[in-house]
A and B are shown apart, each in its own frame.
Chain A
Amino acid sequence: MSVEFPQFKLSDEVDFAIVGSGSAGGILAKELSTAGFSVVVFEQGPYRKSYEFTDDELGVHFYGELQGGGSRANGQTFRHDEADVATVSQRQPADYAQTVGGSSVHFTGNFWRFREIDFVERSALGTLSGTNFADWPITYDELEPYYTKVDWEIGISGAPGPNDAPRSKPFPLPPIPCHGSGVLMEKGAKKLGLTAQVEPHAILSKPFNGRQACMHCGYCMWYGCKHGAKSSTLVSMIPLAEATGRCEIRANSAVFRVETKSDGKAAGVSYFDPDGNERMQRAKAVILSANGAETPRLLLMSSSERNPDGLANSSGYVGRNLMFNAHAAANGVYEHPMNDYKGVQVSRIIHDFYESDPKRGFYGGGGLDARSLFSATPIFFAMAGMPPDGPRWGKAFKDEMAHNFTRQMSIVASTTSLPLDRNNITLDPESKDRWGRPALRMTYRDHDDDLAMAKFLQDRAVELHDAAGADKFWRLPIGPATGSAHLLGTCRMGDDPATSVVDRYHRSHDVPNLFICDGSSFVTSGRGQPTMTIMALAFRAAEHIARAARSNEI
């Protein structure tokens, strides 16, 4: 049952065609439509509402219900190195949602701001050879008002931590209640002289803006929130955009090309409508917010005689510098049931290792969080949550599962990823997606420093389990990543058109009426949980784009 909204004609030249309805696209749609512009938002997935989300773990997590049917349907391929032939894997490498609201619908809701250092780390530390490590063209101070806008418009719960970057307004909502896993992490941290702090969430701890509070059902990571308490753009932004009467959400519509005019400017987008017919929507300006994997793919698909290497790609940086945030984890089993499947994933984090420290002997920083992870849902737990030294089947296996499920938690590390030429998004020469478009090909091998940082934090995770009194704890193997939900850096922002794709206001250096704003805009990876920064960038970009449009500078 979709909402009634205005339908623009293909022959209408709308003000903005936005590709992607997620963290950035949803915000841009709301900001630009409320500013008086006409907007069509293209989403390749369907328009699901909160009441349509289910707790069906097999369907959602394993059959890719929110991801357009997963690996087989999307045909994404992966390889570690350029010399390899990329293949389709069971779990798709670019782990994002195809549904209105995008990945803000199925993400976990962990919501870190960057700190000042994240924007100027290259200046602070110097160059790192063999990498594209660089400063951002903007600072934390410039982005801070938009972080605060995200807090208050999207709905964020939390409390400040000891080393957080300064904020101009307090959190609008108090923290989500602490879980057993958070209590145990705090206990371990105290013993080790570390500081556990409250995890901020894009999940409502109290009713806010007409939405209800979190019911602690536990289906956050990978699931759509059936209560509407997770602050996705689906529930926080898109209803406001539609209420203007100037925004159309065109779901089940897969864009395959940004069209250009003879003067090189964008003319609109071509897409497959829900029946598979090719259509073209004219627009005065095009905004790509399709995520850090799909945005570069679309630019590469939009190559032409004039732009043989893809649109907006005179720098050759489209698709390059893909960053994930490296991860590591250690699981622990405790004496008593903590039932961490109830409620949100994370309630406490440790940011004592946020900054890079030359004494460690490698670049990097990161955060630790205590979370349910495997013990949030039973299939994932059975598949991947059991200790490596135990039996894999039979009575002892069954009994151990039955004992551990309610008593187990994970401490997860999220770290920096360095921007490298070798890590990128390209078009697969063979594989196609279900629309027949060239499939997304991902090439990725973590930098040694990223894995060293992950290992360093995993050591701390193990110490924390020990200090918290776990009966048993073990490490998950650390190795080169084969995919991620964090898709960053592939159309980086910068002042120099030779080494960046968009300027500091997200305008393409090459195509003046083409804007790009999503995870692809990132210059560095941060320490994990990038959605807050994607959303802040979108609010900031919208302000500049609206100003430019009003003064006829598009």
Chain B
Amino acid sequence: MNERDLSRRGFLATSASGVIAKLLGMGLPAFSAVVETAHAAQRSNRFQVLTPAVAEDVAAITERILPSDDTPGAKEAGVIYFIDAALAEQMSGQLPMVQSGVADLNQAIGGGQRFVSLAAEAQDRFLTEIENSEFFGFIWTLTMFGMFSVPSYGGNRRYVGWELLDFQGLQAAWTHPFGYYDRDINAEQTS
């Protein structure tokens, strides 16, 4: 995402937020597709509850859970923005656990270093050590939610999570054949 995108999103956030909030408040889902992108953008340019430092470390964890390579990962999906929004709303009770989880992780790393500053291999070593912890399990769950939920929650930006799976979940209607194996079977059945 470049500077121009960001400023355009900032503009949308300030000019449209009142209208969006009103539409969503009215519970009119027909509008939700239209406002989805803008709504996500509204949330994107600053964190609601995470400090920049904690957000960096949590984002770095999500980017090892779903790394970016020739296909998109947690970074491209903006998973950290989903997490921040979830911790501000539905999962606000878990915020202290996330904060202390990050603090514990950085303490284990030691030497005044933070998780985000480590090389990928070192990051994976530390994550392997905590992969059975409640903290890691929670961040893992939020990473899946943020990668694959509809973008209005702040993640799955431009549907990169769905693209990764070749899930075309926005198309509300299909005709058969749906895939490779049902190419022939329905011709006689539904005629």
Contact with B along A168-206 (1 / 0, CB 8 A): 000000110111101110000000000000000000010
Rounded to whole angstroms, the CA-CA distance of A254 and B180 in the bound complex is: 48
Rounded to whole angstroms, the CA-CA distance of A183 and B185 in the bound complex is: 8
Which residues of the other chain, B, contact A337 by a CB distance below 8 angstroms? 166, 179-180
User: Does A117 make an interface contact (CB < 8 A)?
Assistant: no
Which residues of the other chain, B, contact A55 by a CB distance below 8 angstroms? 150, 169-170, 172
Rounded to whole angstroms, the CA-CA distance of A406 and B67 in the bound complex is: 21
Which residues of the other chain, A, contact B164 by a CB distance below 8 angstroms? 398, 401-402
| A-contacting residues, B126-178, CB 8 Å | 127, 131, 140-141, 144-145, 147-150, 152-153, 161-162, 164-167, 169-176, 178
Q: Which of A180, A395, A402 makes the CB contact (< 8 A) with B182?
A: A180
Contact with A along B88-126 (1 / 0, CB 8 A): 001000000000000000000000000000000000100
Q: B190 contacts A215, CB within 8 Å?
A: no
CB distance from A370 to the nearest CB of B (A): 11
Q: A379 contacts B148, CB within 8 Å?
A: yes
A48: nearest chain-B partner, CB-CB: B27
Dominant secondary structure of chain B at its interface with chain A = loop
Q: B175 contacts A216, CB within 8 Å?
A: yes
Which residues of the other chain, B, contact A175 by a CB distance below 8 angstroms? 189-190
| B-contacting residues, A48-63, CB 8 Å | 51-58, 62-63
Q: B178 contacts A378, CB within 8 Å?
A: no
Which residues of the other chain, B, contact A184 by a CB distance below 8 angstroms? 181
Rounded to whole angstroms, the CA-CA distance of A398 and B71 in the bound complex is: 9
User: Does A452 make an interface contact (CB < 8 A)?
Assistant: no
Contact with B along A204-248 (1 / 0, CB 8 A): 010000000001111000000011000000000000000000000
CB distance from A529 to the nearest CB of B (A): 22
Rounded to whole angstroms, the CA-CA distance of A338 and B189 in the bound complex is: 19
User: Does B12 make an interface contact (CB < 8 A)?
Assistant: no
Q: A405 contacts B181, CB within 8 Å?
A: no
B132: nearest chain-A partner, CB-CB: A392
Binds B, one of A107-115, A340-348, A352-360, A443-451: A340-348
Q: Is the interface on chain A under 10, 10 to 19, 20 to 34, or 35 or more residues? A: 35 or more
Q: B176 contacts A336, CB within 8 Å?
A: no
User: Does A382 make an interface contact (CB < 8 A)?
Assistant: yes
User: Does A124 make an interface contact (CB < 8 A)?
Assistant: no
CB distance from B171 to the nearest CB of A (A): 8
Which residues of the other chain, A, contact B185 by a CB distance below 8 angstroms? 178, 182-183
| B-contacting residues, A381-400, CB 8 Å | 381-383, 392-395, 397-399
Q: With A226-B172, A342-B178 as known contacts, state yes or no: A62 contacts B145, CB within 8 Å.
A: yes
Q: Which of B69, B90, B179 makes the CB contact (< 8 A) with A406?
A: B179
Rounded to whole angstroms, the CA-CA distance of A382 and B146 in the bound complex is: 11
Q: B186 contacts A394, CB within 8 Å?
A: no
CB distance from A223 to the nearest CB of B (A): 12
CB distance from A98 to the nearest CB of B (A): 16
Q: A377 contacts B178, CB within 8 Å?
A: no
Which residues of the other chain, B, contact A398 by a CB distance below 8 angstroms? 66-67, 71, 73, 164
A337: nearest chain-B partner, CB-CB: B179
User: Does A334 make an interface contact (CB < 8 A)?
Assistant: yes
CB distance from A335 to the nearest CB of B (A): 8
User: Does B29 make an interface contact (CB < 8 A)?
Assistant: yes
Which residues of the other chain, B, contact A89 by a CB distance below 8 angstroms? none
Q: B69 contacts A395, CB within 8 Å?
A: yes
Which residues of the other chain, B, contact A58 by a CB distance below 8 angstroms? 145, 149-150, 153
User: Does B23 make an interface contact (CB < 8 A)?
Assistant: no
CB distance from B11 to the nearest CB of A (A): 26
Q: B179 contacts A338, CB within 8 Å?
A: yes
| B-contacting residues, A146-184, CB 8 Å | 174-175, 177-180, 182-184
Contact with A along B2-46 (1 / 0, CB 8 A): 000000000000000000000000010110100000000000000
CB distance from A58 to the nearest CB of B (A): 4
Q: With A175-B189, A178-B186, A338-B178 as known contacts, state yes or no: A378 contacts B169, CB within 8 Å.
A: yes
Q: List 24 A-B contacts (CB under 8 A).
A: A51-B29, A52-B27, A53-B29, A57-B149, A63-B90, A177-B186, A179-B178, A182-B185, A183-B185, A215-B172, A217-B174, A336-B181, A337-B179, A338-B181, A339-B178, A343-B174, A378-B148, A383-B141, A392-B140, A393-B65, A395-B69, A398-B71, A398-B164, A402-B166
Closest 5 CB pairs of A and B: A336-B180, A180-B181, A215-B173, A378-B148, A58-B149
Other than the given A180-B182, A339-B179, A401-B164, 12 more pairs (CB < 8 A) read: A215-B172, A216-B176, A226-B172, A343-B176, A378-B148, A378-B161, A378-B165, A393-B131, A393-B140, A394-B67, A395-B67, A406-B167
